Amino acid sequence: MNATVTAPVRRSPLAHRSAMSAPDDLLHLSERAFDAKIVLRGLPEVLAPAIEKVTGLAMPEATRSTANDAHRLLWQSPDEFLLLGPVDGEPELMTALTAELDGRHVQIVNVTDYHTTLVLSGPKARETLMTLSTLDLHPRGFTVDQVAGTTFGHALGWLVQTGDDAAEGGPVFEVLVRWSHADYLFCELTHGARAFGMPEARPVSGELMEI
Amino acid sequence: MSQPYRIPGRGLINRDRSVSFTFDGREIPGYEGDTIASALLANGEIMVGRSFKYHRPRGIVGAGGDDPAAMVQIGSDPASTDPNVMVTTREIHAGLEARSQNCWPSLKHDVGVLNDVFMRFFPAGFYYKTFMGSDRFRWLNWMTFEPFIRRAAGLGKSPTKPDPDSYESVNRHCDVLVIGAGPAGLAAAANAARSGARVILVEETDRLGGSLNATDPDGTTIGGKAPADWIADQTAKLAEHPEVTVLTQTTAFGYYAMNFVGLIERVKDHLPEHRRDRRQPRQRVWRVRAKQVVLATGAIERPLVFNENDRPGIMLAGAVRTFLNRYGVLAGKRVLIFTNNDSAWQTAFDIRAAGGEVAGIVDLRRELNEAMALRALKAGIAVYPRTAIVGTHGRHRIDSAFVSSLDDNGNVRGSRSRIECDLIAVSGGWNPNVALFAQSRGKLKWDEELASFRPGLSWQQERSAGACNGTLELQEVLAEGSKAGLEAARAADFTVRAIRQPEVRTDAVETLNLVPVWQVPSGLPREKTKAFVDLQDDVKASDLQLATEEGYDSVEHTKRYTTQGMGTDQGKISNVNAFGIMAEARGITVPEVGTTTFRQPYRPVTIGALGGQHVGAHFMPRRGTPMHAWHLEQKAIFEPVGDWLRARAYPKPGESFHDAVQREAKAARTTAGILDATTLGKIDIRGKDARTFLNRVYTNAWSKLAPGRCRYGLMLGEDGMVSDDGVTACIADDHFHMTTTTGGAASVLQKLEDYLQTEWPDLDVWLTTVTEQWAVAAVCGPKAEEIVASVVEGIDLDPEEFPFMTWQDGTVGGIPVRVFRVSFTGETSYEINIPATYGRWLWEELIAAGKPHGLTPYGTEAMHLLRAEKGFIIVGQETDGTVTPGDLRMDWAVAKKKGDFIGKRSLSRSDTVRDDRKQLVGLLTVDGDHVPMEGAQIIGTPEEPAPPVPMLGHVTSAYFSPNLGRSIAMAMVKRGGQRMGETVWIARLGDKPVPAKIVHYDFLGDAVGEAA
Amino acid sequence: MFVIDCPNCGARDQSEFTYAGEAHIARPTDSENMTDAEWAEFVFMRTNTKGLFAERWWHATGCRKFFNMLRNTATDEIHAVYRIGEKPPKVTADLPATPAGEASIGSGNDAVKIMTRDEEAAS
């Protein structure tokens, strides 16, 4: 076999978008592509020792996440967790977790390419999310490390707060959104933030639908 | 300066800022803070439009959201013009253009007024009786006449171009939502705010204070302060609490389940063009979920129903007071008061205090409050007790009223006398504004003293305070508001202590002493009495009485028959009067009559605002694959599949869609084709019981599928009908990769989770969707092996080594890929799965590698064509939820002996084993150039017989096959499997049926040759 | 839109959930021995209760778990949320007298829009 191909090119779902900001640092929106993402299904007590050993993370409580410098572990359901890790880290994580959990009733699935991560930060981040989400996103209702799978307009996503409201620059939220909804959600967020001076990103269009 | 009806020193308008606007092209001067209504009245204009049915002149009746009929068209731009805007709620601004509606050629000379002349012939239910029921008018059927009637009726004109404005909806949670910022609402919000609760205070107008803004500023103090100062204090206090949101220009339009309340905020409508922030939406819908709600929506005054009570110049007494004290406008030069209760007397006192002239107080009651009568006497106001207005005069504005005294039975006694006046201030009492309470599904209670409904039993987490609860005395209103605010905060788990209430001192009339009179006697026969109940829909007391006589007992039926309360105002001031008239006509009480339903929205809401930001490009996500941009660059034609957009065909410049599909389908069989198959649903299945699970969810057997192999499976519903299909690969003994149809991906996963979680929790199986983890390029055709070999490493593509229905792992440029040797075309085919972020790169590598071999990208249309040539079904095209595997003649895919699976038992139901069921067959039209229409009915005769036509089935798919050089079709035909070789006919609309021969549906097999 | 208290995720808007039909209908394990009528009863027949109804919901956007819910279908009042496999808790509630009656409050129907004399006397 004489396969001859060019060097692989990796493109994120929002490769065609640049980070956007509202004036006065009210809001920043960007994509953080290629984080390692691994779904772990299994009972927490089964998963816990392996995750602890491989990542150093404890299992999160319901609707919460745990994090250290390199990883974040999101609760998604009583038997489903989403592990985020460093870019290009998924092969090592998969290998290590698979080895640790060998023979146990678990499922370890690489979903690195399934989602991308939108990062929304700034004093107006909460209000912007409120244009699309029915969650209680008041600081009393949604706090650091909290996790929720919900709809943002017509897109599905997992929301996690990663940065504290009191910190410099305001709160930081991350939304894990599937590839095919990423552009819609990116544009909806800029659209929802127009009132704060955010320039608007329009969804890509131009598809010919007529014969 | 004009504005001859403006009273110096009165009102909360900003006299330093003159603002003018146009009404029917004429410039009308006013001040900042004026509504269209107050500015028109300041200039002596009281008539603004004509009524819906009789085109009678309609004037300003209310001073706020209660007005029934004074509506105008704003602007003339065909895209942004806004019909049916209430003049009493729209603030004026420079550049505002208002026009009267429902009149032609002009407000004062209207052709439709002929309806008025013939009013006697348009009784209740006229349209039903004339156009739907009566034999006499059968020739005048409704269908013919409807367009003419619709044109003559109606209110404003809808915009004809797309709305240029933007709208937005936002979600909020709060602890206490206070609706209405009058004295009760302000007290409630201020007290709730002290607890630290999240409070939202909603006010419909541009100013907090509600009824306090309409009181004589010199007559009342609260805690020693003038009302305006007290309002300012409360406003300042609210501003100190960071968790309080105050929304003015905002209407709570709907109270839904579990304290979900819709608010509509008019963000820019009241601003002149240059002050409208382009970044802000025109209107914003707030979707509020409140732990507790305080309703402080005030009371709505109701008029008296008397003869000729609809002329411009007849206004609610409270509205006269509001225009005077809030807007500094006394709407008449000589005002006659007409009432059955004490409150309207305050209007007389306020007019006198402002130096206006009162023509007298006509009171229906015999017993009058002595202190009040004395006060009137001192003010030099004539009082006519036990007297009724029995008629009015004046075409575009009243100039006089006719009064008669009443006997002990309430009948007209003696002659009519004339009182000159240009305004009648009328009050029939006050209806607590219970609309939102009723929407919340609370139960109403009939209050004898108010002769109206007020909140009775709450259903949701809300409480009513102030006039909307039937409480009218200011001291009590404040106390109730404070209590409601405290209780609401506490109920939302906050702690707050009560503080001392401010003391109210007032000389305002706060008693009611109401004697209900539902219809004021006129001394005239019923058919000569024009006593209007609903001023917008032109419903008269006599219409309601006629309806009752005709047997309409239910209040809901009477409403629909007469159109009472069915206008844009939803009968705000008129419904209780209507119920009273119905009760009298039936000789029962009002609560026995009941009430119509208070529905959302409380006031009309622009449909654009409800759509919010989810319009145009933001309407819904356009799901595209990683290769989407490439398809776009190729100018592919797309089609929506589920919520995906898939490339349907890739026409070359100048090439038609049809030709492109033919070319693509030909290439896929003769050289090579490449399809973006990313959208197929993919589910990772893992666990020791995975095989058992697959055995139960698919119709065929999975026990022996070895790792490395793939198998096609059919999935049924419990009803035995085919619901999905796809190929599943065995990765390891306990690990499978399932594919589903594109549209079925989400529902299949839900169904599988459902069975695992609820029926078979004992099975050790996990499911995770990986649909978008993988980008999939499917390469097929004679040259496919060669092309794939030049790109993929680590796989020996020799069919001996890599046979059909197996899979192997390899790499492309070092990136791991998984290749499935499956086929949806019948050709040798490789479905290459690569992590999605490399999808575009892989695609382009394949395109480049395939170029020397004639590799042709094909879209979903060619895909459909190719699979039809091979006779593969598409779930949802050949099937429609009524088709079993047997109907598809795919019994080979059903393992009857393997044990239970979803839908198995249904396959032996008496209905599913019928031998006359429709079965899937191939159809070859006798004329090979004719492609039948998909969905066309199949009949058994060359000519279409007279209906009912016996039908044998229908065409499910039809194409012109470039590879067979003729048309092919798939069809569901009764007993199709036993009809091979028979001729049937495909019916056509307006044309002769087309003959076709029934064949097996694998057209690449022997079917075509045998038919030929 | 009501709020549903997901047993795993907490209170969430109804828009996050998918309705999944009547609860406590176990899939027969011996369908081969059932008559057509008995099988049809399982596949097709549902009670369509006006009043207290045990139904299943799926938290589609969140934990993707099915759970049971007791809801008054006349008033949309949710009386209990409980897990699959659990028995419905006892509910003493103001329920419609089916088939023709109404819950005394909350259905919004004509019969219960206005307080009765008895209710007025009691309040």
Mark whether B196 and B134 lie in a shared domain: no
Chain A residue numbers touching C8 (CB-CB < 8 A): 62, 77-78
Mark whether B390 and B535 lie in a shared domain: no
Please report, for the domain that includes residue A48, its CATH number.
Answer: 3.30.70.1520
Q: What is the pLDDT of residue B667?
A: 97
Chain B residue numbers touching C75 (CB-CB < 8 A): 441, 459
Q: What is the pLDDT of residue A205?
A: 76
Instruction: Give the pLDDT confidence of C40-90 residue by residue, as tens digits.
Output: 999 999 998 899 999 999 999 999 999 999 999 999 999 999 999 999 999
Number of structural domains (chain B) is 6
Q: Which of B556, B719, B750 lies nearest to residue C43, judging by beta carbons?
A: B719
Mark whether A75 and A168 lie in a shared domain: no
Number of structural domains (chain A) is 2
Give the DSSP letter string of B219-279: TEEETTB-HHHHHHHHHHHHHH-TTEEEESSEEEEEEEGGGEEEEEEESSTTS-GGG--TT
Alpha-carbon span B84 to B101, nearest angstrom: 8
Inside any domain, residue B710: yes
| Mutation site for C-interface testing, chosen from B261, B441, B558, B721 by largest number of C Cβ within 10 Å | B441
| Chain-chain contact of B257 with C2 (C-beta, under 8 angstroms) | yes
Q: For chain A, how many helices (H) and strands (E)?
A: 4, 11
Q: What is the pLDDT of residue B1012?
A: 47
Mark whether A123 and A186 lie in a shared domain: yes
Mark whether B112 and B7 lie in a shared domain: yes
Q: Are B185 and B296 in contact (CB under 8 A)?
A: yes
Contacts of B799 (CB under 8 A, 6+ apart): B785, B828
Q: Are B458 and B442 in contact (CB under 8 A)?
A: yes
| Mutation site for C-interface testing, chosen from A39, A41, A61, A63 by largest number of C Cβ within 10 Å | A63
Q: What is the pLDDT of residue A1?
A: 45
Inside any domain, residue A206: no
Please report, for the domain that includes residue B82, its CATH number.
Answer: 3.10.20.440
Tell me the residues of chain C between 34 and 63 that have a Cβ less than 8 Å away from chain B: 34, 36, 39-40, 42-44, 56, 58, 60
| Mutation site for C-interface testing, chosen from B437, B443, B716 by largest number of C Cβ within 10 Å | B443
Q: Are A126 and A139 in contact (CB under 8 A)?
A: yes
Mark whether B125 and B228 lie in a shared domain: no
Mark whether B213 and B281 lie in a shared domain: yes
Is some CB atom of chain C closer than 8 A to the CB atom of B900?
yes
Alpha-carbon span B424 to B331, nearest angstrom: 10
Contacts of A91 (CB under 8 A, 6+ apart): none
Please report, for the domain that includes residue B1003, its CATH number.
Answer: 2.40.30.110
| Chain-chain contact of A78 with C65 (C-beta, under 8 angstroms) | yes
Please report, for the domain that includes residue A188, its CATH number.
Answer: 3.30.1360.120
Chain C residue numbers touching A149 (CB-CB < 8 A): 9, 16, 61-63
Residue finishing a domain among B161, B188, B217: B161
Inside any domain, residue B213: yes
Mark whether B97 and B178 lie in a shared domain: no
Chains that touch B (3 or more CB pairs under 8 A): A, C
Q: Which of C31, C44, C120 lies nearest to residue B900, judging by beta carbons?
A: C31
Inter-chain Cβ pairs, chain A and chain C, closer than 8 A: 38
**Closest approach of chain B CAs to the CA of C36, in angstroms?**
6
B682 beta partners? B739
Q: What is the pLDDT of residue B1008?
A: 60
**Closest approach of chain A CAs to the CA of C53, in angstroms?**
26
Cα radius of gyration rounded to whole Å, chain A: 18
Q: What is the pLDDT of residue B975?
A: 97
Look up the domain containing A106 and give its range. 35-111
Q: What is the pLDDT of residue B129?
A: 63
Buried b / exposed e over C52-76, threshold 16 CB at 10 Å, is: bbbbbbbbbbbbbbbbbbbbbbbbb
Q: Which of B614, B632, B838 lies nearest to residue A10, judging by beta carbons?
A: B838
Mark whether A124 and A21 lie in a shared domain: yes
Closest alpha carbon within chain C to A149: C62
Inside any domain, residue B770: yes
Q: What is the pLDDT of residue B110?
A: 65
Inside any domain, residue A60: yes
Inside any domain, residue A210: no
Residue finishing a domain among B113, B131, B161: B161
Is some CB atom of chain A closer than 8 A to the CB atom of B773?
yes
| Chain-chain contact of A181 with B620 (C-beta, under 8 angstroms) | no
Chains that touch A (3 or more CB pairs under 8 A): B, C
Mark whether A64 and A83 lie in a shared domain: yes
Mark whether B26 and B115 lie in a shared domain: yes
Chain B residue numbers touching A181 (CB-CB < 8 A): 621, 623
| Chain-chain contact of A180 with B644 (C-beta, under 8 angstroms) | yes
Mark whether B363 and B253 lie in a shared domain: no
Q: Are B912 and B720 in contact (CB under 8 A)?
A: yes
Inside any domain, residue B283: yes
| Chain-chain contact of A151 with C12 (C-beta, under 8 angstroms) | no
| Mutation site for B-interface testing, chosen from C1, C114, C116, C117 by largest number of B Cβ within 10 Å | C114
Residue finishing a domain among A111, A135, A163: A111
Contacts of B737 (CB under 8 A, 6+ apart): B682, B683, B684, B685, B728, B729, B731, B770, B807, B818
| Chain-chain contact of C62 with A78 (C-beta, under 8 angstroms) | no
Angle, nearest 10°, between helix axes B555-562 and B541-549? Answer: 120
| Chain-chain contact of B837 with A113 (C-beta, under 8 angstroms) | yes
Is some CB atom of chain B closer than 8 A to the CB atom of C97?
no
Q: By a Cβ cutoff of 8 Å, what residues of chain A touch chain C?
A: 62-63, 76-78, 80, 134-135, 148-151, 156
**Closest approach of chain C CAs to the CA of A178, in angstroms?**
12
Is some CB atom of chain C closer than 8 A to the CB atom of B897?
no
**Domain chopping of chain C, boundaries:** 3-93
Mark whether B144 and B243 lie in a shared domain: no
Using DSSP's 3-state secondary structure scheme, residue A29 falls into strand
| Chain-chain contact of A34 with B849 (C-beta, under 8 angstroms) | no
**Closest approach of chain B CAs to the CA of A103, in angstroms?**
10
Chain B residue numbers touching A33 (CB-CB < 8 A): 837
| Chain-chain contact of C40 with B909 (C-beta, under 8 angstroms) | yes
Mark whether A178 and A189 lie in a shared domain: yes
| Chain-chain contact of A208 with B637 (C-beta, under 8 angstroms) | yes
| Chain-chain contact of B637 with A210 (C-beta, under 8 angstroms) | yes
Closest Cα to residue B350, out of B216, B191, B502?
B216
Residue finishing a domain among B832, B858, B884: B858
Q: Which of C13, C36, C60 lies nearest to residue B909, judging by beta carbons?
A: C36
Q: What is the pLDDT of residue B138?
A: 52
Residue finishing a domain among A66, A95, A111: A111
Closest alpha carbon within chain C to B751: C20
Q: Which of B446, B554, B757 lies nearest to residue C114, judging by beta carbons?
A: B446
Mark whether B407 and B447 lie in a shared domain: no
Q: Are B583 and B589 in contact (CB under 8 A)?
A: yes
Closest Cα to residue A108, out of A99, A118, A117, A116?
A99
Contacts of B21 (CB under 8 A, 6+ apart): B27, B28, B30, B36, B39, B92, B93, B94, B95, B96, B97, B98
Instruction: Give the pLDDT confidence of B11-20 residue by residue, as tens digits.
Output: 999 999 999 9
Chain A residue numbers touching B840 (CB-CB < 8 A): 9, 11
| pLDDT lower than 70: segments of chain A | 1-3
**CATH superfamily, region C3-93:** Folate-binding superfamily (3.30.2270.10)
Structural tokens at position B449: 């003293």
pTM above the 0.90 mark?
A: yes
**Closest approach of chain A CAs to the CA of B728, in angstroms?**
17
Mark whether B95 and B133 lie in a shared domain: yes
Inside any domain, residue B607: no
Mark whether A107 and A144 lie in a shared domain: no
| pLDDT lower than 50: segments of chain B | 1012
Pairing of strands B199-202, B244-247: parallel
Look up the domain containing B369 and give its range. 303-428
Mark whether A150 and A97 lie in a shared domain: no
In the β-sheet with B387-393, what is the strand arrangement from edge to edge?
Answer: B387-393, B400-406, B412-420
Residue finishing a domain among A111, A126, A144: A111
Inside any domain, residue A195: yes
Mark whether B739 and B824 lie in a shared domain: yes
B899: left (phi over 0), alpha (psi -120 to 50) or beta: left
Please report, for the domain that includes residue B225, its CATH number.
Answer: 3.50.50.60
Chain C residue numbers touching A151 (CB-CB < 8 A): 15-16, 61
| Chain-chain contact of B441 with C66 (C-beta, under 8 angstroms) | no
Q: Which of C64, C105, C112 lies nearest to residue B753, judging by beta carbons?
A: C64
Is some CB atom of chain A closer than 8 A to the CB atom of B770?
yes
State residue B660 phi and psi, 5-degree precision: -65, -45
Q: What is the ipTM of this complex?
A: 0.97
Q: Which of B638, B790, B837 lies nearest to residue A12, judging by beta carbons?
A: B837
